[in-house]
């Protein structure tokens, strides 16, 4: 299967192409490496499609090696399209964040590309990413608590609702 060629058929809206691919893809290391490579491309549709498939692998119970986790975490700083960001953010709760990556990810998620993103879904899930990071790395809990408190002043009701849900499950 030529993953890149098949992803080129994705129109950016209808997921039937991606659903068909997901049914045929196995979560082999080579497939995950290829999807991460494709997600690093500059084309928004390709980023979206590749991260959608990575998220599907995750949802279907696929597991990622330490090297694959590093490749996935690298994508957070690389993808630009809001849907690709959202797919990665939705995968984060199941990923163990290595201590070596925690500071850079905290800065990234709290920065203009995530909490400051124009898309309310990216902002909402970025609050969740920060909460997940604080759950895994307790030293971030005070700072993240302040960020969540400030986030409750968000204009978008959906973002505020996400923050309320995060606070309900907080330790």
Per-residue pLDDT tens over the stretch 107-138: 999 999 999 999 999 999 999 999 999 999 99
pLDDT digits (tens, 9 = 90+) for 52-83: 999 999 999 988 999 999 999 999 999 999 99
Q: Are residues 103 and 164 in the same domain?
A: yes
Q: Indicate whether 56 and 117 sit together in one domain.
A: no
The H or E element spanning position 54 is: helix 44-59
Both 3 and 81 in a single domain?
A: yes
Quote the number of domains for the chain: 2
Tell me: do 41 and 31 sit in the same domain: yes
> Within a 10 A sphere around the Cβ of 165, how many other Cβ atoms?
14
> Which residue do the tokens 């490496």 mark?
33
Instruction: Give pLDDT tens digits for 144-167.
Output: 999 999 999 988 999 999 999 999
Locate 45 and state its tokens: 């549709």
Do 32 and 62 share a structural domain?
yes
Give the end of a domain, one of 32, 66, 96: 96
pTM: 0.95
């Amino acid at each position: 299967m030529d993953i890149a060629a098949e992803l080129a058929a994705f129109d950016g809206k209808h997921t039937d192409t991606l659903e068909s691919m997901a049914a045929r893809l196995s979560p082999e290391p080579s497939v995950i490496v290829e999807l991460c490579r494709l997600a690093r491309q500059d084309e928004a549709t390709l980023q979206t499609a590749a991260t959608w498939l990575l998220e599907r692998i995750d949802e279907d119970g696929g597991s990622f090696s330490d090297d694959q986790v590093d490749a996935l975490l690298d994508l957070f700083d690389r993808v630009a399209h809001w849907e690709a960001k959202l797919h990665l953010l939705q995968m984060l709760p199941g990923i163990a964040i290595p201590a070596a990556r925690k500071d850079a990810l905290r800065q990234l998620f709290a920065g203009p590309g995530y909490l400051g993103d124009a898309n309310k879904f990216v902002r909402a899930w970025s609050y969740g990413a920060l909460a997940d990071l604080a759950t895994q790395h307790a030293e971030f809990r005070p700072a993240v608590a302040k960020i969540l408190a400030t986030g409750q002043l968000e204009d978008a009701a959906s973002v505020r609702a996400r923050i309320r849900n995060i606070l309900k499950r907080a330790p």
